[in-house]
Structure 1
Amino acid sequence: MDQTPAKNDTLRQIVVAASALAAIIGSFIGSGAAGGTQIQNASNGALSADSTLIAPGGPAFSIWSVIYLGLVTYAVWQFLPKQKTEHRHRLLGYPVAASLLLNAAWILSVQFDLLPLSVPIIAVLLAVLAYIFVLILRHRPTNTVDAIITDGTMGLYLGWVCVATAANISAVLVAAGFNGFGLNPNAWAVFVLAVAAAVGVALAIYGKGRLAPAASLGWGLAWVAVARFSGELLSTPAAIAALVGAIVVVAFTLIIRLRTVTTSAR
């Protein structure tokens, strides 16, 4: 395998760093700090904590601070000499950059009241993150620091976007006047939350107990439960489904993780 530095490596590093900067600027705009509208208030509040039965409570979005910190750290980490020619980072660089640009594009779509456009953007973002997850599993980290910065950050990113995708699609459908084909909204909410939990279980199985995706997905589901138990839009069935989903995802992941570690130690 060629470990000789090339112009393509430098270009990749610069693209990742520039994309991270674009994502940070996008998050700054999305926070309302630049004079714009906060995401939860944009598009007539379609993405607020009480817009749909699937929406997480406001504090859930604080996880973005951790994810952005991890992404910025990764942008710096991949600039170090060893990562410049590391095959793993050669594979991950452009997909990570794509995820960062899609993140910024999603924020802009909501800011400019293009809510329907946010759905295909976040769907592609989810697909890119799933691809990154596959690459991470196929190409192991070189050391513990790489595992924390790269695997940990991308895992948190993936798990949270799973929850965000479900909430985003639900918000767009509600804003468009979708009535659920006449079915009870609580039944739809329970179904969607069950699917989200099933995705978390699938990630645990495929990832052999990777903790980061389960942590952020479980976090998101838990805050859906909080919002439905105590927010303005109350729903006991949705709250229970979200809470059970969070517990199942985290517990299942821990069980698989323990089995994986035990097997490896033999």
Structure 2
Amino acid sequence: MSFTTRSQRESLLAWTIVALAIVQVLVMFLPNLGVGQTVAVRAEAVRTPLTPAGWAFAIWAVIYLWSFLYAVYQLLPGQRYDAILAVIRLPSAIVFALNALWVVAAQLTGLSFVTVLIAAAELLLLIVVLFNIQPDAFVLTKRRRAFIHWPFLLFTGWISLALFANISSFLAFINIRLFGLGETGAAAVLLLCACTLCIGVQRQLRGAILYALPVVWGCVAIAAANVQHGPHYWMAALAVLAAAGVAWFTYWTRARSTRLRNSPWRG
């Protein structure tokens, strides 16, 4: 009886993940049905020096596609009782649900305190997912890494930066200056906070390239936007330095991790 119940529960959760992976894409088209405004329009209404150039959001196409591939992979009969998937299924399902909820909230109310809270919860769960995969990351087959690990690296990297951009937009929306700073100064502080978080996560991930890529991509897009819309050249320069810093730390951490794994003195 317990086996049947467990099988049914795992099957239901696996199918729920597939459904939510699709829903998080479909809700983006609600404005086409007259419900709310697109996220792009909402973001433009509260543009700050931490808002990336519009082309940066093309990364969502890759994130959504890879999320769907993960959803299909974990549904396969051979993966039903996989130990790693058993741990990450529930938080990954909640991540997809929160992402869909964030899109709907942004479309209806703009980049508000609600969207900040949702993004923060989403990032926390993404980190939980990654840290549950991380102990086995180096022994997974390439196929399993591609379907289980890599999509969440990309997803987490982007949200790590997007959360702080959301905070910047929310502060602009309610016209509050962070620590009494001007808009550009507040954006610079938030960018440094984002990079500090990314470096902390990257330290635990031991230099994961797919985590760093969306962060670097976003920082470059922030630099481009500050040149185009400001121009805030010093903010653009800071964003470029942030991208370079994250890239360098990723390289250094990855090289150090490789040396430690290959060391004959490793315990």
TM-score (norm: length of structure 1): 0.90
Identify the residue that residue 19 of structure 1 maps to in structure 2.
20
Q: Which has the higher helix share?
A: 2
Identify the residue that residue 219 of structure 1 maps to in structure 2.
217
Q: Secondary structure at the match of 1:78?
A: helix
Q: CA deviation at 1:239?
A: 0.9
Identify the residue that residue 149 of structure 1 maps to in structure 2.
147
Identify the residue that residue 204 of structure 2 maps to in structure 1.
206
Given that residues 116 and 172 in structure 1 are in contact (C-alpha distance below 8 angstroms), is that contact kept between their aligned partners in structure 2?
Answer: yes
Q: 2: distance between equivalents of 1:203 and 1:215?
A: 14
Structure 1 gap ranges (5+) = none
Correspondent of 1:64 among 60, 63, 78: 60
Given that residues 203 and 213 in structure 1 are in contact (C-alpha distance below 8 angstroms), is that contact kept between their aligned partners in structure 2?
Answer: no
Correspondent of 1:127 among 118, 124, 127: 124
Q: 2: distance between equivalents of 1:239 and 1:44?
A: 18
Q: 2: distance between equivalents of 1:33 and 1:212?
A: 32
Given that residues 192 and 242 in structure 2 are in contact (C-alpha distance below 8 angstroms), is that contact kept between their aligned partners in structure 1?
Answer: yes
Identify the residue that residue 10 of structure 2 maps to in structure 1.
9
Give a deviation string over 1:143-181, Cα, whole Å, max 9, x none: 111112221110110110011110111101111011334
Deviates more, 1:74-83 or 1:32-41: 32-41
Identify the residue that residue 91 of structure 1 maps to in structure 2.
87
Q: 1: distance between equivalents of 2:218 and 2:44?
A: 22
User: How many residues of Structure 1 are paired with residues of Structure 2 in the alignment?
Assistant: 258
Give a deviation string over 1:33-63, Cα, whole Å, max 9, x none: 55553211137722xxxx1011111011000
Give a deviation string over 1:69-113, Cα, whole Å, max 9, x none: 100000111011221110100111111110001001001101112
Identity %: 26
Given that residues 109 and 117 in structure 1 are in contact (C-alpha distance below 8 angstroms), is that contact kept between their aligned partners in structure 2?
Answer: yes
Q: Moved runs in structure 1, 4+ residues, more than 6 A?
A: none
Q: 2: distance between equivalents of 1:215 and 1:81?
A: 32
Structure 2 gap ranges (5+) = none
What letter is aligned with 1:8?
R
Correspondent of 2:241 among 234, 244, 263: 244
Given that residues 48 and 184 in structure 2 are in contact (C-alpha distance below 8 angstroms), is that contact kept between their aligned partners in structure 1?
Answer: no
Q: 2: distance between equivalents of 1:59 and 1:178?
A: 28
Given that residues 168 and 187 in structure 2 are in contact (C-alpha distance below 8 angstroms), is that contact kept between their aligned partners in structure 1?
Answer: no
Q: 1: distance between equivalents of 2:85 and 2:180?
A: 49
TM-score (norm: length of structure 2): 0.89
- Aligned-CA RMSD value: 2.1
Q: CA deviation at 1:139?
A: 3.8
